[in-house]
Amino acid sequence: MATRAVRYAVIDAFTDTAFKGNPAAVCFLEDGYQVDDEWMQSVAKEFNISETAFLTRAVSGDNPRFNLRWFTPVDEVDLCGHATLAAAHFLLSYGLVKCDVIEFATKSGILTATKVYGIKQSTLFNVKDENFIKSNGEKESFSIELNFPVCKVVESDPGEIPSIPETLNGASVINVTKRGSSDDHIVLPCPSLKL
């Protein structure tokens, strides 16, 4: 069982405004900090938001790598975009890494987060970097770009498709495909659909 304090933050992904976007908790487990799956699940349940990310340092140096796991309040998941974005933001914004590229070792493979300078508008994060000062003395803004694995998509068997139009309140659907490695369906609604 964990007995030491844990550094954590709740970070709103896909926004630069507090209490907007998609929140994720990020817990940084310092070197040597040992916890089990039950403890992580209990912490995620306590936060009670869609995802809680747990980070541990795997490799230090110029290109740091962190182990990253994601838990909902009820189960561990194999991949979560907004919690990965929150984890990268946490590491970059709190000065825990001094580089522009972070690697995450996950159940879905190696994911990368890259600090990108010079983007005026972003749907991700727009952060003032305390370590990068422009020649006029202003702090440079940066965004975070994520690189995720590509999932193979296959056609869905019509018998496998649940009653999607009913689920979407009668909305028209253009296409339904299935993620090749799971039973997850990907639904492409008509462009005029407002969910």
List, for residues 136-148, the tens digit of each pLDDT value.
Answer: 556 667 889 999 8
Higher pLDDT, 124 or 179: 179
* Phi, psi angles (nearest 5°) of residue 38: -60, -40
Task: Answer yes or no: are the C-beta atoms of 144 and 161 closer than 8 Å.
Answer: no
Q: What is the pLDDT of residue 162?
A: 62
CATH class of segment(s) 7-147: alpha beta
Q: Name which of 46, 42, 127 is nearest 85 in CA terms.
A: 127
pLDDT attached to residue 105: 96
Residue 80 half-sphere exposure toward CB, CA atoms < 13 A: 26
Over 60: is that where the pLDDT of 31 sits? yes
In angstroms, the CA 191 to CA 195 distance is 11
Where exactly does CATH 3.10.310.10 map onto the chain?
7-147
Average pLDDT over residues 180-194: 70
pLDDT in tens, 73-99: 999 999 999 999 999 999 998 889 989
Task: Please check the confidence at residue 32 and state whether its pLDDT lies above 50.
Answer: yes
- What average pLDDT does the chain have? 82
Q: What is the pLDDT of residue 16?
A: 78
The pTM is what?
A: 0.74
Pick the closest to residue 191 from 173, 169, 170 (CA basis).
173
For residues 138, 144, 195, 79, the Cα torsion angle rounded to the nearest 10 degrees is -160
Active site residues: 51
How does pLDDT run across 40-77, given as a tens digit for each residue? 999 999 999 999 999 999 987 777 899 999 999 999 99
